[in-house]
Amino acid sequence: MRLFCLEWKRMIKSRRTFVLLVVALLMSVVMAFLPVSFESINRSEENGSVTELNGLSAIWFKKGCYQKTAGEITPQKMADVLRTYQYYVGEYGSVDDIPLDIYIEKVMALRPVIKGLSEIYADPKTGIGTDLMEIDPDEVEQHFYEQCASHLEDVMDLEQKEHPAAGQYAVKKYAGADRPFRLYSGISRDAFDYTTLYILLLAVLCTAIAAPVFANEYQNGSDAILRCTKYGRTRLAVTRILTVCSIFIVVFLTGMAVHLSILNAAFGRECLDTSFQMLFSIINLPDMNLRQLQIVLVSAGLLSMLSGTGCTLFLSAKCKEPLTVLLVSMVILFLPIFACSALGGSSWISTILPSSGIGLQNNFLYQLCNFNFLHLGGQSFWTPYVILVSAAVEMPVFLVLAVISYCRHQTV
């Protein structure tokens, strides 16, 4: 414990580490502020003028409008909302032609409810969505949730035709999603995008901190002294790894807590009761609401970041040049992003690397939103699980390899 405390002190007193950690915490505020600042709406005033609202005032104004449709999304409610929508659009010809004051008062709150309808009534052969005006509200009232499941089967037939196991898994998983869905509009998808972006930023900063942990001492020769001491081998390596990981866990959780607290305070905590399917795609598989999604994103992000840190520490214990370690670690961190862009989200390389859950198109949120499966023999595996299992397995493996590499290092 004494060594652990001294190692903490040593790490935190390093100016470079301190600056990077402060940046990590500051960015939690910035990355929460940005999606709030993107919120905007035009409000019609009594005198006929239009006022543009931005940021928090836009969010609060929208929340007032969305109150009307908040709650459980029963087929009955969905059909009623569709009827109302069709009435107003029919009255004015198109959504764009509805006067602003009427749109805001009568139509705006309907749209988050029915946005998934055109998707689930899409052409099963082409996947092209149906115009909301062409959907029969009575049909929605009778078969809304059955149609959701049916559309999922169509999508799986289109995307995973050669892998029926994937389709079966998806249908079974979707059947387990809690119904009726709930909707408390207000929070934007941008907020979740920025959360995943913040996780990527934290991973980059932590990689920069972890890269020189062992390599720096090889380079400046101080390890020759430390490894000659009684506890200078396994215990030092283990303590150092525990210190790095514990600092990162504290910073990650603190940063995420600040970031999410700001977002939730701005958008409203009641929004977090919204079902995953009502914010993203209505046929998405996860059985969770947005509050649970935030917890899952933080947990998966932390696991992926620690797995990536394990890989960086292993490289640091193996190489003599901190710069080489940093560059190789960054390549490994960004490789899933490039692999996802080049090969798509359903490639092993973009999912089994230590930090595969962190990135842009490949991030864990997007994997939850997609129907990416990896196939091995007759088995199909949904990519979010592959990412989690890979990270969970690789983290201890890399950390043990880091300890072994440090202990076996030769001071030449």
The binding site for other proteins (CB under 8 A) comprises 2-3, 6, 9-10, 13-15, 216-217, 220-233, 236, 410-412
Q: Which residue, 210 or 352, has its beta carbon nearer to other proteins? A: 210
CB-facing half-sphere around the CA of 79: CA atoms within 13 A: 13
Say how far apart CA 279 and CA 186 lie, in whole Å: 10
Smallest gap from Cβ 280 to other proteins, in A, equals: 46
Say how far apart CA 164 and CA 297 lie, in whole Å: 29
Q: Which residue, 126 or 410, has its beta carbon nearer to other proteins? A: 410
Q: Which residue, 221 or 378, has its beta carbon nearer to other proteins? A: 221
Strand pairing partners for 71? 183
Q: Is 376 left (phi over 0), alpha (psi -120 to 50) or beta?
A: beta
Say how far apart CA 202 and CA 20 lie, in whole Å: 10
Q: Which residue, 51 or 229, has its beta carbon nearer to other proteins? A: 229
Smallest gap from Cβ 342 to other proteins, in A, equals: 40
Of 285, 52, 70, residue with least CA distance to 186: 70
φ, ψ for residue 147, nearest 5 deg: -65, -35
Smallest gap from Cβ 250 to other proteins, in A, equals: 19
Residue 244: alpha-carbon gap to chain centroid: 24
Per DSSP, the three-state class of 53 is strand
Of 405, 13, 17, 11, residue with least CA distance to 208: 17
CA dihedral 290, 73, 269, 42 (to 10 degrees): 110
Q: Which residue, 180 or 232, has its beta carbon nearer to other proteins? A: 232
Smallest gap from Cβ 247 to other proteins, in A, equals: 15
Smallest gap from Cβ 235 to other proteins, in A, equals: 8
Sign of the dihedral through C-alpha 56, 58, 60, 63: negative
Smallest gap from Cβ 242 to other proteins, in A, equals: 15
Q: Which residue, 2 or 125, has its beta carbon nearer to other proteins? A: 2
Q: Which residue, 237 or 279, has its beta carbon nearer to other proteins? A: 237
Smallest gap from Cβ 323 to other proteins, in A, equals: 16
Residue 37, C-beta contacts closer than 8 angstroms, at least 6 positions apart: 54, 55
DSSP per-residue letters across 257-295: HHHHHHHHHHH-GGGGGSBHHHHS-TT-----BHHHHHH
Tokens for 100? 């602003």
| C-beta separation of 304 from 398 below 8 A | no
Tokens for 185? 């509009």
Smallest gap from Cβ 14 to other proteins, in A, equals: 5
Smallest gap from Cβ 229 to other proteins, in A, equals: 4
Give the count of beta carbons closer than 10 Å to the beta carbon of residue 389.
Answer: 13
Q: Which residue, 71 or 232, has its beta carbon nearer to other proteins? A: 232
Q: Which residue, 151 or 227, has its beta carbon nearer to other proteins? A: 227
